Structure formats: C-alpha cells, structure tokens
C-alpha cells in the first residue's frame, strides 16, 4: 500500500475497539500488539465507514 495523502480526521482507537465489526481483531485481543493487523474485506469496509 502506498499512502499519497493523509486525512485530517483522526479515528479514535476506542471507536474501533468498541465496534463489533472488528471483533476478533488482534488490536482488541492483544493490547499493544505490533502492526500490521491483517484486515478482511469486511474490516476494510468498516474502516472506510469512519472516513
């Protein structure tokens, strides 16, 4: 992935953590887990809904 622009909007960690669409993700199960966190197409769609 290449990032060619940055958004001004920040997505709060708590919003993603509390979103049931991210159930089972490592960032919810393992606090402080290192990147990257693999995403399914459903996870990508949920993430994009915050933008």
So where are the chain's domains? 13-30+38-49
Q: What is the pLDDT of residue 20?
A: 95
Average pLDDT, integer, range 12-34: 85
CA dist., res. 23 & res. 28, Å (int): 7
Q: Is 39 left (phi over 0), alpha (psi -120 to 50) or beta?
A: beta
The helix/strand/coil state of 17 is helix
6 pLDDT more than 80: no
Please give the mean pLDDT across all residues of the chain: 84
16 pLDDT more than 80: yes
CA dist., res. 20 & res. 2, Å (int): 28
pLDDT tens readout for residues 25-45:
888 888 777 778 888 999 999
pTM value > 0.75: no
What do you get for the CA distance between the two ends of the chain, in Å?
Answer: 17
């Amino acid at each position: 992935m290449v990032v060619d622009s940055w958004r001004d909007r920040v997505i709060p960690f708590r919003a993603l953590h509390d979103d049931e669409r991210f159930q089972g993700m490592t960032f919810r199960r393992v606090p402080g887990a290192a990147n990257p966190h693999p995403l399914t197409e459903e996870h990508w769609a949920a993430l994009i809904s915050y933008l």
